[in-house]
């Protein structure tokens, strides 16, 4: 076995590989770009080597720099993870030439399977069933037209070198074919540097079912069962599970045999995935991925095996740890890909600071594979995945219950996420019934994008209680510091010089004002809300969570504060309210330290002021361009700009201090 390996990747997969290495007593070397110098994967590895600037092309895709790092650190093998160089035959070859073990298949196997056309020719010879289609070398328009006509419409035009759904086009009728071919060719040439296309029968309601296979250097190949990855958005996987629901036993057996035959046909070594489409009882090979897949944890959960350990053993020349007969699946596992993206805005990546990040508690039923921590940034340079949330239980219904609970418990504030979208899939009766298919999300779209609901009385009560309790804690701390802890001036329990012991609070919910009147009572706060009154009390626990008791209903919720904004996370729902309280506004403004910060990441469009300039309240200071809109930062009151931190054209992160401001003066 190796003493030291280099992990040529970042994020969750680099962390996941490092964990197995640590358990096996193997030393790990991380590599990183400048954007990742303080990243979790760097912290988890024993040593780390800088590769270069943030763009992948200048860092994680630089095979030469990675090999140099391996030499410098004495790493004997390189684990490529997925993506980046994991399916790059040239890199695998360069590793071999440099005397370093590439933890993956041979360059020849990567090459054979890297081309969808070539792999189909191979699979056809090995007797693996294919989607009816054309995967020939002749690429003239006439040849492709004739092929499409013979296959029968609708057809799917695909880039042979494709991946991630790129260069793929559905063509319903012959008159749309030429344009689709030209478009796919352009996209394929740009994305993969190879414009070879293939044409397939477009199946109207398939499921995506894939086989995990493993081969060793002694000629043994086994499969570790199937995964159903039918829940997809734009041909990209969203939820994956194992075993595939409602799959007939004989299909499972036949697919396992086909997966093993496919791997054997190319003398496959290491972890691989043979992907099939399954429709009307038949299955068809679409492609083979010659690496560890993103969704491998569901296989680990049902097989009890660590696939990274298997990879390391095989790469070190050892035989596969278990025979086919010894592999027995147990229970059911589901993985949800948690992304920093905005479902309401066409799933655009949401970059920014992970201000508050609390994954659900891990245990035998819940696993969270992540590469970020609270306080980290989701960068524009890489895939905006936050984590893979994986659940396991004895059967699918129980696993699904775990998934719903874990999604509800997952707390992320700072960036938009797909958590609510995932939760609505997990809650959908058709998903619960196992009615999965690649068209699932499209078919159920109206149910999957829950409308934002206005904050109800329950949410208002939580917001008010949080404000009151934090004020009380702040006052107690101030009193303790003042040397006169019992002074009535520090009390916040409603004590007043006169009898007027109530207070009015106003919250803004998406611009709409919602009032709460607080009456101080010995047993707590009586809150008069728009729909009636409740008794509220509670405390802020050591973790910063709000332990609340509203009319005797006690629970723990999270309220994340930033200035006057409150994000209330309660049972999987998020509400953002702004406290519109003049006293608090003034008090919190004082604490602000006079810096004016960027409300979101963006680019400085214009700077209107310079250091030393005196401005009136409301004067425009800076224009920030973000999300295709302009945001004007104005002077909060009359005062002097003391420092300007940025110039026109600069990129800024959210929360960055744009300028320093000193209120007051003439
Ligand atoms: P990529 O390598 O870009 O991921 P794949 O060939 O693996 O492309 O296909 C990705 C997804 O596209 C599949 O999971 C399926 O949803 C859809 N797809 C691929 N081929 C077909 C087909 N012939 N008919 C219908 N859907 C298909």
- Which residue has the CA at smallest separation from atom 2 of ligand 1? 163
Q: Please give the pLDDT value at position 226.
A: 98
The 10 Å CB-count burial string (b at 16+, else e) for 346-367 is ebebbbbbbbbbbbbeeeebbb
> Between helices 141-151 and 177-192, what is the axis angle to 10°?
120
Average pLDDT by consecutive 10-residue portion of the chain (666 residues)?
98 98 98 97 98 96 98 98 96 98 97 91 91 94 96 95 86 96 92 92 96 98 98 95 97 96 95 97 95 98 98 98 98 98 92 95 98 95 96 98 97 96 98 97 94 89 95 82 66 52 86 90 92 96 94 95 89 89 52 62 87 86 76 82 88 81 78
Q: Please give the pLDDT value at position 594.
A: 52
Alpha-carbon gap, residue 498 to 99, rounded angstroms: 84
What are the backbone dihedrals phi and psi of residue 316, each rounded to the nearest 5 degrees, phi first? -85, 5
Phi-psi category of residue 235: left, alpha or beta, with phi > 0 → left and psi -120 to 50 → alpha: left
Q: Please give the pLDDT value at position 626.
A: 73
Hey, where are the domains in the chain? 4-103, 132-201, 207-448, 457-583, 595-663
For residue 65, the surrounding DSSP H or E stretch is helix 63-73
CATH T-level assignment (fold) for domain 457-583: Glycoprotein, Type 4 Pilin (3.30.700)
Atom nearest to 200 CA in ligand 1: 23
| Of 439, 382, 445, 389, nearest in space to 412 by CA | 389
Q: What are the beta bridge partners of residue 573?
A: 570
> 4-103 in CATH: which number?
3.40.50.20
Cβ(287) to ligand 1 under 6 A?
Answer: yes
Cβ(203) to ligand 1 under 6 A?
Answer: yes
Atom nearest to 133 CA in ligand 1: 23
- Which residue has the CA at smallest separation from atom 11 of ligand 1? 235
Q: Is 291 a catalytic residue?
A: yes
Using CA atoms, how far residue 212 sits from 20, 225, 328, in Å, is 19, 6, 14
Q: Please give the pLDDT value at position 589.
A: 47
3-state helix, strand, coil in the chain (%, to 5): 30, 35, 35
Q: Please give the pLDDT value at position 590.
A: 45
Residue 269's SS3 state is coil
- Going by their DSSP bridges, the two strands 332-339 and 236-242 should be labelled as antiparallel
> 595-663 in CATH: which number?
2.40.50.100
- CATH homologous superfamily for 207-448? ATP-grasp fold, B domain (3.30.470.20)
- Mutation test of ligand 1: which of 134, 206, 237, 441 has the most ligand atoms closer than 8 Å to its C-beta? 206
Is 662 within 8 Å of 640 (Cβ atoms)?
A: yes
Q: Please give the pLDDT value at position 425.
A: 98
> Which is catalytic among the residues 291, 337, 367, 396?
291
Q: What is the 165 CA–ligand 1 centroid distance (Å)? A: 7
- Mutation test of ligand 1: which of 235, 273, 441 has the most ligand atoms closer than 8 Å to its C-beta? 235
How wide is the angle at C-alpha 402 spanned by C-alphas 396 and 406, nearest 5°? Answer: 145
**3-state secondary structure labels for all residues of 67-98:** HHHHHHHCCCEEECCCCCCCCCHHHHHHHHHC
Cβ(165) to ligand 1 under 6 A?
Answer: yes
- pLDDT tens across 356-402, in order? 999 999 999 999 999 999 999 999 999 999 999 999 999 999 999 99
> 132-201 in CATH: which number?
3.30.1490.20
What are the start-end ranges of the H helices in 136-248? 141-151, 177-192
The 10 Å CB-count burial string (b at 16+, else e) for 575-605 is bbbbbebeeeeeeeeeeeebebbbebbbebe
Q: What is the 444 CA–ligand 1 centroid distance (Å)? A: 20
């Amino acid at each position: 076995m190796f003493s030291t390996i280099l992990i040529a990747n970042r994020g969750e997969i680099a962390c996941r590989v490092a964990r197995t290495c640590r358990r096996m007593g193997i030393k790990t070397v991380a590599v990183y770009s400048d954007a990742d110098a303080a990243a979790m994967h760097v912290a988890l590895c024993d040593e780390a080597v800088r590769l270069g600037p943030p763009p992948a092309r200048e860092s994680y895709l630089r095979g030469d720099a990675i090999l140099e790092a391996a030499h410098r650190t004495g790493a004997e093998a390189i684990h490529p993870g997925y993506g980046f160089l994991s399916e790059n035959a040239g890199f695998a070859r360069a590793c071999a030439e440099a005397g370093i073990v590439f933890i993956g298949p041979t360059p020849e196997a990567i090459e054979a399977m890297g081309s969808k056309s070539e792999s189909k020719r191979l699979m056809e010879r090995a007797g693996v069933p294919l989607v009816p289609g054309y995967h020939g070398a002749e690429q003239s328009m006439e040849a492709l037209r004739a092929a499409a006509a013979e296959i029968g419409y609708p057809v799917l035009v695909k880039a042979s070198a494709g991946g991630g759904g790129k260069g793929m086009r559905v063509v319903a009728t012959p008159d749309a074919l030429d344009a689709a071919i030209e478009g796919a060719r352009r996209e394929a040439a740009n994305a993969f540097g190879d414009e070879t296309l293939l044409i397939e029968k477009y199946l109207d309601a398939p499921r995506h079912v894939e086989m995990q296979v493993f081969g060793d250097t002694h000629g043994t190949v086994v499969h570790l069962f199937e995964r159903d990855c039918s829940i997809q958005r734009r041909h990209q996987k969203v939820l994956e599970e194992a075993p595939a629901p409602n799959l007939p036993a004989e299909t499972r057996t036949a697919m396992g045999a086909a997966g093993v035959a496919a791997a054997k046909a190319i003398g496959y070594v290491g972890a691989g995935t043979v992907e099939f489409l399954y429709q009307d009882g038949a299955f068809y090979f679409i492609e083979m991925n010659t690496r560890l897949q993103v969704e491998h944890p569901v296989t680990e959960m049902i097989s009890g095996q660590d696939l990274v350990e298997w990879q390391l053993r095989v790469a070190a020349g050892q035989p596969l740890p278990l025979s086919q007969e010894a592999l027995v699946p147990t229970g059911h596992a589901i993985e949800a890909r948690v992304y920093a993206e905005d479902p309401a805005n066409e799933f655009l990546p949401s970059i920014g600071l992970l201000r508050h990040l609390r994954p659900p508690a891990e245990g035998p039923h819940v696993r969270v594979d992540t590469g970020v921590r609270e306080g980290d940034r989701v960068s524009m340079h890489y895939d905006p995945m936050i984590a893979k949330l994986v659940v396991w239980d004895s059967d699918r219904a129980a696993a699904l219950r775990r998934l719903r609970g874990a999604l509800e418990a997952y707390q992320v504030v700072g960036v938009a996420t797909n958590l609510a979208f995932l939760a609505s899939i997990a809650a959908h009766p058709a998903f619960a019934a196992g009615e999965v298919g690649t068209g699932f999300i499209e078919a159920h779209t109206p149910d999957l994008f829950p409308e934002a609901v206005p904050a109800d009385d329950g949410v208002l009560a939580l917001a008010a209680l949080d404000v009151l309790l934090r004020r009380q804690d702040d006052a107690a701390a101030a009193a303790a510091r003042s040397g006169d802890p019992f002074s009535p001036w520090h009390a916040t329990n409603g004590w007043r010089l006169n009898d007027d012991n109530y207070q009015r609070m106003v919250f803004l919910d998406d611009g709409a004002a919602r009032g709460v009147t607080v009456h101080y009572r010995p047993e707590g706060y009586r809150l008069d809300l728009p729909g009636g009154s409740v008794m509220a009390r509670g405390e802020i626990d050591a973790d910063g969570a709000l332990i609340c008791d509203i009319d005797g209903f006690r629970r723990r919720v999270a309220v994340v504060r930033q200035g006057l904004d409150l994000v209330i996370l309660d049972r999987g729902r998020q509400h953002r309210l702004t406290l519109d309280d003049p006293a608090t506004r003034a008090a919190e403004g004082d604490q602000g330290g006079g810096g004016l910060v960027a409300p979101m990441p963006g680019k400085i469009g214009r700077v209107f002021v310079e250091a030393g300039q005196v401005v009136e309240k409301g004067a425009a200071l800076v224009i920030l361009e973000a999300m295709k809109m302009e945001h004007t930062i104005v002077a909060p009151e009359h005062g002097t700009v003391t420092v300007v931190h940025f110039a026109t054209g600069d990129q800024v992160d959210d929360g960055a201090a744009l300028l320093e401001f000193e209120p007051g003066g003439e």
